Amino acid sequence: METIVAENVYKAYGEVQALNGVSLSVPKGQILGLLGPNGAGKTTLVRCLTTLLVPDSGTLTIGGYDVLTEKDKVRQIIGLSGQYSAVDEQLTGRENLIMVGRLYHLDPANVRNRADELLAQFSLEDAANRPVKTYSGGMRRRLDLAASVIADPPVLFLDEPTTGLDPYARKESWNFIRKLVTEGTTLLLTTQYLEEADYLADNIVLINKGEVAAEGTADELKANLASDVIEFRPEDRDQRQAALEAVSAFGHDDPQIDEETGLITVAVDEGSKSLMEVVRALDQKGIAIGDLSLRRPSLDDVFLSLTQQA
Amino acid sequence: MAQDALQQQPQFQGDIVESGLLRQLKWNIQDTLVIAWRNLMHIRRQPRLLVLSTVQPIMFLLLFTFVFGGAIEFRFPGDNYINFLLPGILIQAVIFGTTQTTVNIAEDIQKGVIDRFRSLPMGRTAVLAGRTLSDAARGLFVVTLMLIVGFLIGFRPEGTILNIVGAIFLAVSFGFVFSWISAFIGLLVGDVETAQVAGFIWVFPLVFASSIFVDPSTMPDWLRGFAENQPLSAIANAVRGLFFGDVSLQTVLLALAWIAGIFLVFMPLAVWQYGRSTD
């Protein structure tokens, strides 16, 4: 069952078409990574889905509720952590969580316990009673994440949850996000970082200039949009030509050779299966090889090729 | 058929609370109090803001009393200017106080705090009502302080206790409805720098071209017509009259009518603007 659904969503800001017919859906309990460069329309789509922005046209539903006509219901089942940490600077961490909990209409007696639980879970116990203005960027983000889940919403939106964090704080945030989505939460996460989508998301939608450029699992995107690569180097210089001929049957393009280093690269569909065949073929011709490797394409290869085309 | 209908049911039936009118009202009040608490915590955490915002009206009070007071009393022998000035300057103080509201709302928009509130299942009016309510609390504090300082420098009201309570009530409630205008402007401009100017600049002529500091009868005709009939004068006249037990029912009703009128126009306007997207 699809929990988050967007169909044909259009939104323009004056001349700029921020969303140009975007459709996507997230099944219950799954994590969708909405991946795209700056200005691709990620935040606009999240704002539309979280009742903050009315699209020019299109259909949006969360948990079966129409986002445009059943705002009040949608707001009861979503949690949002926006692009900037929307925490109150003057209040302490604990006060921030209690405030948001009360505004979700949680039982006042339970709000305190839940706040303490989250402060512990997000390693903020020591700073719990300090005003947020004394927090580091990473701590603010964590508090913001904690606030978005205080009511245990079944649907969660995280808009660039790690933008602006240093690599250490980013890795740390990933762990927290992983913990958040263990119990069947449906999550839509936007990011500019391929690594992040790869690490966190079940499915990825690549968005560029307000349009969906590609979608699938990280593996599918890599398999469909970029190839595995086998690289090897014949030990004997004189056997280079023979090696090229031996492997020319594999791969979808002609094998390439780097004349300087003698490294031969073959782009193949099914990496590990082809690797065996390549090794066998070379062995039959009596070609000794060194530096053999199989390289998976990175999401960067996919991302760059798609965003550059457009 | 029944099966189909079941499958089309929304998924999170159990988590959704159908909001009856009474429950909605209860939540709205609770949300409003939570937001008001938050704003008052800001004052508690940054007491210097409160100090600065009270120093200003006290400075006005002292400057007007001692710099212009002599000249004004010279023109109207027998008058005690502080008795004329203080009721008016209470209005000036609460109004200047609400211009901070414009800045605070704009700041909340800029920092994404309003977006968070708007994504929560809160009452629609709560963020603004909480803000204007905490403004009213601040207004009451400033008014009390001004009365104490005024008393120290010679202000002697002559009305009954009931009159004086009524005067304070009028001044504070005018501040309350005025902060709905300030909140509306804050929502309109949406950024702190603009809000700092936009919240303030138009208030000046309104405050000075009124019966707050002087009797408008000394003003040129073209200005007097405006000064005598604008809301700040209506409130100042009623408050002044109440402090000295010398006021017609009509004057008080006119002040109340202005308060109700401003509220009925700007409250829905601000709530509507809050509900609109802030992009």
Q: How do residues B60-80 score in pLDDT, each as one tens digit?
A: 999 988 988 888 776 655 568
Out of A98-102, A111-115, A265-269, B44-48, pick the least confident. Answer: A265-269
Question: Is the CB of A135 inside 8 Å of chain B's CB atoms?
Answer: no
Model pLDDT, residue A43: 92
- Convert the pLDDT of each residue in B189-217 to its tens digit: 988 999 888 888 889 899 999 999 888 88
Q: What is d(CA B94, CA B169) in angstroms, rounded to the nearest whole number?
A: 12
pLDDT tens digits, one per residue of A163-198: 877 888 788 888 888 877 767 889 999 998 888 888
C-beta atoms of A73 and B10 within 8 A: yes
- ipTM field: 0.85
Q: Distances from the Cα of B210 to the Cαs of A83, B89, B236, in angstroms? A: 46, 11, 8
Q: Which residue has better confidence, A299 or B11?
A: A299
B118–A90 C-beta distance less than 8 A: no
All residues of chain A having their beta carbon less than 8 Å from the beta carbon of residue B12 are 63-64, 77, 154
Which residues in chain A are contacts of B112 at CB distance < 8 A? 82-86
Contact (CB, 8 A) for A18 and A48: no
Q: What confidence score (pLDDT) does residue B90 get?
A: 94
Measured CA to CA, the distance from residue B45 to residue B34 in angstroms comes to 16
Chains A and B form CB pairs within 8 A to the count of: 94
> What is the average per-residue pLDDT within A132-161?
91
Name the least confident of A103-117, A221-235, B44-58, B206-220.
A221-235
Q: For A276-296, what is the mean pLDDT?
A: 82
According to the model, what pLDDT value does residue B15 have? 52
DSSP track, A33-73? EEE--TTSSHHHHHHHHTTSS--SEEEEEETTEETTT-HHH
pLDDT exceeds 90 at position A101: yes
Q: Percent of chain A beyond pLDDT 70?
A: 93
Who among B34, B41, B116 is closest to A80 (CB)?
Answer: B116
- What Å distances lie between residue A69 and A54, A62, A77, CA to CA? 11, 11, 15
A16 touching chain B per CB within 8 A: no
pLDDT of residue A177: 85
| Listed range (A138-147, B14-23, B63-72, B241-250) with the worst mean pLDDT | B14-23
Q: Looking at residue A147, what is its pLDDT?
A: 93
Task: Tell how strand A264-268 and strand A228-234 pair up.
Answer: antiparallel
Calculate what percentage of chain B has a pLDDT beyond 70.
Answer: 90
Residue range B119-142, pLDDT digits in tens: 999 888 999 999 999 999 999 999
Query: What per-residue confidence (pLDDT) applies to A60?
Result: 96
Q: Which one-letter DSSP state was computed for residue B122? A: -
Expressed as residue numbers, the domain containing B11 is 2-278
Q: Which residues of B touch A76 (CB under 8 A)?
A: 15-17, 121
Query: Once rounded to an integer, what is the mean pLDDT over residues A240-265?
Result: 78
Per residue in A50-97, pLDDT tens?
A: 999 999 999 999 999 999 999 889 999 999 998 777 899 999 999 999
Instruction: Name chain B contacts of A161, Cβ cutoff 8 Å.
Output: none
Task: Give the separation between CA B276 and CA B183, rounded to whole angstroms.
Answer: 14
Q: What is the reported pLDDT for B249?
A: 92
- State whether residue A288 sits within 8 Å of chain B by CB: no
Q: What is the pLDDT of residue B4?
A: 43
Q: Which residues of chain B make contact with A54, given a CB cutoff of 8 A? A: 277
Share of chain B above pLDDT 90, in %: 54
pLDDT of residue A230: 81
Which of A73, A80, A92, A100 has the highest number of chain B CBs within 10 A, making it the mutation to test binding with B? A73
Where does the pLDDT of residue A3 fall: very low under 50, low under 70, confident under 90, or very high at 90 and above? very high
- Picking from B120, B122, B274, B277 by the largest number of A CB atoms within 10 A of its own CB, the best residue to mutate is B120
Phi, psi of A40 (to 5 degrees): -75, -20
C-alpha distances (whole Å) from B88 to each of A103, A195, B37, B212, B225 are 39, 64, 29, 4, 19
Radius of gyration of chain A (CA): 24
Q: Cβ of B124 under 8 Å from any chain A Cβ?
A: no
Bridge partners of residue A5, in order along the sequence: A25, A61
Token pair belonging to A150: 């205080």
Q: For chain A, say whether B16 makes contact (Cβ under 8 Å).
A: yes
pLDDT for position B271:
93
**String of DSSP letters for chain A:** -EEEEEEEEEEEETTEEEEEEEEEEEETT-EEEEE--TTSSHHHHHHHHTTSS--SEEEEEETTEETTT-HHHHHHHEEEE-SS----SSSBHHHHHHHHHHHTT--HHHHHHHHHHHHHHTT-GGGTTSBGGGS-HHHHHHHHHHHHTTT--SEEEEESTTTT--HHHHHHHHHHHHHHTSSS-EEEEEES-HHHHHHH-SEEEEEETTEEEEEE-HHHHHHHHS-EEEEEEESSGGGHHHHHHHHTTSSSS--EE-TTT--EEEEESSHHHHHHHHHHHHHHTT--EEEEEEEPPPHHHHHHHHHHH-
Counting Cβ atoms within 10 Å, is residue B4 exposed (0-12), middle (13-18) or buried (19+)? Answer: exposed
Residues of A within 8 A of B30 (CB-CB) are 102, 105
Q: Which residues of B204-235 are buried (b: 16+ CB within 10 A; e: fewer)?
A: eebbebbbbbbebeebeeeeeeebbebbbbbb
A65, A82, A105: residue with CB nearest B116 = A82
Count of structural domains, chain B: 1
Beta carbons of A76 and B17 less than 8 Å apart: yes
Determine, for residues A104 and B277 on separate chains, whether the beta-carbon distance falls below 8 Å. no
Residue A221 has what pLDDT?
79
Q: Take residue B25 and report the two structure tokens written for it.
A: 């009202």
Q: How many other CB atoms are found less than 10 A from the CB of residue A147?
A: 29
What average pLDDT score do residues A275-285 get? 83
CB atoms within 10 A of CB B246: 12
The residue of chain B with its CA nearest to that of A53 is B277
Lowest mean pLDDT among A233-242, B40-49, B57-66, B171-180: A233-242
Q: Which residues of B touch A30 (CB under 8 A)?
A: none
Secondary structure letter of residue B242 according to DSSP: H
Could you tell me the pLDDT band of residue A242, with boundaries at 50, 70 and 90?
confident
pLDDT digits (tens, 9 = 90+) for B5-54: 444 445 554 556 666 788 888 889 999 999 999 999 999 998 888 888 78
pLDDT of residue B6: 41
**Which chain A residue shows the shortest CA-CA distance from B126?**
A103
The number of residues in chain A equals 310
Q: Does the structure show a pLDDT above 60 at B109?
A: yes
pLDDT band at A247 (very low <50, low <70, confident <90, very high): confident
Q: DSSP state, B220?
A: -
Q: What is the pLDDT of residue B62?
A: 92
pLDDT of amino acid A296: 73
pLDDT of residue B17: 64
pLDDT score at A308 = 58
